[in-house]
Structure 1
Amino acid sequence: MLFRNRFLLLLALAALLAFVSLSLQFFHLIPVSAAKNGAGGKSRKRVMPNPVTEPPVMDPIYEALLYCNIPSVAERSMEGHAPHHFKLVSVHVFIRHGDRYPLYAIPKTKRPGIDCTLVANRKPYHPKLEGFVSHMSEGSGTSFESPLYSLPLYPNHPLCEMGELTQTGVVQHLRNGQLLRDIYLKKHELLPSNWSTDHLYLETTGKSRTLQSGLALLYGFLPDFDWKKIYFRHQPSALFCSGNCYCPVRNQYLEKEQRRQYLLRLKNSELERTYGEMAKIVNIPTKQLRAANPIDSLLCHFCHNISFPCTRNGCIDMEHFKVIKTHQIEDEKERREKKLYLGYALLGAHPILNQTISRMQRAAEGRKEEIFTLYSAHDVTLSPVLSALGLTEARFPRFAARLIFELWQNREKPSEHSIRILYNGVEVTFHTTFCQDHRKLSHKPMCPFENLVHFVQRDMFAALGGSSTSYYDACHREGV
């Protein structure tokens, strides 16, 4: 009997140790050896870690996961929060399109097999996904500004096309739209129940992924909307600069910024070695691999939990990915420090910010047109705006990122209006250049709208140096 009890005790202890060992491996607390597979090896699946808390030091995997923005738990947000005596007057939403298929392919590798049809019972799931597909099917022939009317209203290819929105991208913006609906319509009643076309201003670039992202957000915001009330305008420029796109000085800033990026890459010997290793794997010159922008394709593999490409020469692996992603993060840090990009951002963001404050001013005067604005855009749209506002700590725009401007009226003093700015649900108003000192200088709980107006109409030009007092002068001055 004693022998049997000891045997059972040892068996239980062994099972416990095995469980602890597997748990540590699962949570990456001890390393797990993995042999590199050749072209004929099995698909290398990996467990996608879940970013719960901010790591104490820069972690390229954590940053990549934030960039992917994989729909999982419900998101908390600070949109629509204000003292009780303030009334919401207008809302202006800037979004980056949702998750997409890569824009570039790594030469001599198999394209990632992602299905771009929308399937209601497939992950990622959203309760409005099936209704979205049905409603988009009813919108064929919808009259949008040319050339938008010729674009598909939702993704629908068994194998994604380059740059095409994925089901993940649709779900990301359905979630965004529903979140904004719960706050702005149900809580604050921003739009009347009989809203019309005049209450909305919708604008997108001529890419299917931006139009479809805008429609997904809109469907989450206004389910089963009347197609006759929806009109998307086409924006030819990713900067949304409309008729004010010619700006030679802005381009000079951009050239200097691109030169800075080039020099930083030359100094990174680990990056060059990594590109060399990857080029040997796919059997192409290193310059050709770099030109193919491999991080774009690798991020797609990473975000969709698909093994990185393999050839008969070996496999691109997580260490390669981490080196390239780390360089991206370091590049963003140096970009903020050198401030060459800031000049580009101030001139690049001015037209769209100027349009936004013009709409806010009309809303502050009591006009009800265009009180909900949606710009469906790109990372190269949001990045200059974030930088121009002085949000130096803001991360690079993730898939389905949202930047929101809220205009509020003081019910006790109706002539006073205030502004709130939120990035991915986090209030960043008091981190902006125009309002970072407000709390030190004023007892008012909200940032005055005048601060933003003065910033766009005057202070943005002063930040460039020189004596320019208008956008035209700043774009054409000499000696930059």
Structure 2
Amino acid sequence: MTFNVLRMPQSKAIHCYLLMSVWILLLIVGIYKFLEPKQKLVESTTIPTELFSSLSVDVKTKRIFKICNFPDEITAGDEGILETNKWVLKGLLILIRHGDRGPLQHVRKISSINCGAENTELLTSYKEYLHNQTLSNKVSWVGPGPFHGFPYLPTSPRQCQLGQLTMQGITQLLKLGDVLRRSYHKVWPKLQVLSPYELVVYSTRYRRTFQSGLAFLFGLIPHDTLSRINIYESQSMSFCFKDCGCPVTEKLSKYVRKNMSHQLKSHPAVATLADRTGRSLFSPSAEQGYLGSDPHAVRDALLSFVCHGNGLPCETPLNCIKRQNVAGIFAYTDWVNYQKWRNIFWKRYCLLKSYGLVRHIVQQMLHMVSLIYQLYKQIFPR
């Protein structure tokens, strides 16, 4: 074949070479066009969940995950070890916070976050207890009162609802109550036979606080007692009772907020990081305002993703929240919280805000001691 081509007339050989060159050129162009990435198609497509960047546990992020307080990590001994040979326990005063909750602001891909919990034996037992008590309609906290109509469990077993307790939060408090019961029932046997009249329980009117309190008590006290106790409402989140009026606290709070704002302005890189992370994190329909660039608000929203093993959201395919963004936000907010305790205004604010609570605790302790003293006089009269 080659021999015949070489023997062709010169003009025919030139035409043949030209045709072969054009054919090779078209072949190269076609292959290049086929292999070219379709960038326009990606830009116009909705960001899929698979494009989320995951946050894995390592040395740098271990401290962040510790904040999540996973149920499996709640163990006996964290509350302190009581030396029974030195002290005689006569009563308990327990202060708790609510469990894991959903974010306080609308965030992207909130429906993709699974805020559910593993169906443990303790959780199953609690669900059955609530079901039976609801059918019997004999529990004291069902009737008229500040908590009338409150659901006892999160309305959705898997979803993270705005500011509401999650099933993971329920599991945390069940585990905490159970751990304390196991730690104290030998030291204070009365814990297993408490009557409703020997218990005083206060909760704010926030649903997440009420639900957390019920779950905690289920793990701590006899279930028959739980169904007959009264839960009282605290008018203040500070549990200040009759000592809430203190105008100075508002003035001190303004000083603290002003100082925090100055700190953020003196760290422009952090302000930029918070703003960029907030744009990728908060839903476009949400009224972000100042919260969109507030590192503390961004931190709160990030916990919903970090503490439930979910990928981090993206504003665009090329603008996703990365691990270093999370680490930077948490490092700054931890630093701010540390600096607060060096601020004299913050110390005074905390002392004044806690005065009502501390005073109430002292009153309860005196009440316990007086009851014991009266009982002692009855048993051993002079």
TM-score range, shorter chain: 0.7 to 0.9
1:294 is the counterpart of 2:298: yes
Q: What is the CA distance between 1:116 and its match in structure 2?
A: 5.6
Using a 3 Å threshold, how does the CA distance of structure 1 residues 134 and 331 change in structure 2: closer, same or farther?
same
Larger Rg: 2
Structure-2 residue corresponding to 1:143? 140
Question: Cα distance, 1:39 vs. partner?
Answer: 2.1
1:388-467 to 2 correspondence within 5 Å? none
Q: How far is the alpha carbon of 1:113 from its aligned partner?
A: 2.8
CA contact 1:206–1:234 (8 Å) conserved in 2: yes
1:304-345 C-alpha deviation (Å, 9 max, x unpaired): 111111133521222222221111111011101123211111
> Do residues 71 (structure 1) and 71 (structure 2) align?
yes
In terms of fraction of residues, the more strand-rich structure is: 1
Counterpart of 2:343, as a letter, is: K
Change (3 A) 1:226 1:81: closer
> Per the alignment, in what secondary structure is the counterpart of residue 256 of structure 1?
helix
Report what 1:305 is aligned to: 309
Letter in 2 for 1:89: K
Q: Which residue of 2 aligns with 1:317?
A: 322
Q: Which residue of 2 aligns with 1:126?
A: 120
Partner of 1:339: 344
Q: 1:84 to 1:278 in 2, by over 3 A?
A: closer
Q: Is the 8 A contact 2:278 2:292 kept in 1?
A: yes
Distance 1:275 1:286, change over 3 A: farther
2:335 to 327, 330, 334: 330
Asked if the contact 1:45–1:306 (Cα under 8 Å) also holds between the matched residues in 2, the reply is: no
Q: 1:75 to 1:281 in 2, by over 3 A?
A: closer
Give per-residue Cα distances to partners, 1:415-438, cap 9 Å, x unaligned: xxxxxxxxxxxxxxxxxxxxxxxx
Q: How does 1:17-56 map to 2 (within 5 A)?
A: 39-40=47-48, 42-44=50-52, 46=54, 48-49=56-57
Match in the other structure for 1:86:
87
Report the alpha carbon displacement of residue 192 of structure 1 after superposing the two structures with TM. Answer: 6.0
Q: CA shift at 1:50, angstroms?
A: 6.8
Q: Any conservation in 2 of the 1:98–1:169 contact (CA below 8 Å)?
A: yes
- Give the TM-score normalised by structure 1: 0.60
Per the alignment, residue 174 of structure 1 pairs with: 174
- Rounded to whole Å, the distance in 2 between the matches of 1:110 and 1:47 is 16
Q: How many angstroms apart in 2 are the aligned matches of 1:325 and 1:148?
A: 35
Cα deviation 1:92-112 (Å, max 9, x = unaligned): 111111111111123xx2225
In the alignment, the residues of structure 2 paired with residue 42 and residue 159 of structure 1 have an alpha-carbon distance, to the nearest angstrom, of: 19
Gaps of 5+ in 1: 1-37, 52-58, 370-480
Superposition pairs for residues 189-338 of structure 1, below 5 Å? 189-191=189-191, 193=193, 195-278=194-277, 281=280, 287=290, 289-290=292-293, 293-312=297-316, 314-338=319-343
On the 8 A contact 1:115/1:159 being kept in 2, the answer is: yes
Alignment-mate amino acid for residue 211 of structure 1: F
Runs of 4 or more off by more than 6 Å in structure 1? 282-286
CA contact (8 A) 1:115 1:166 kept: no
- CA offsets per residue over residues 249-290 of structure 1, 9 Å max, x none? 122111111111111111111211213433565797884622
Instruction: Tell me the residue number matched to 2:31.
Output: none
User: For the Cα contact (< 8 Å) 1:253–1:341, is it kept in 2?
Assistant: yes
Structure with greater proportional helix content? 2
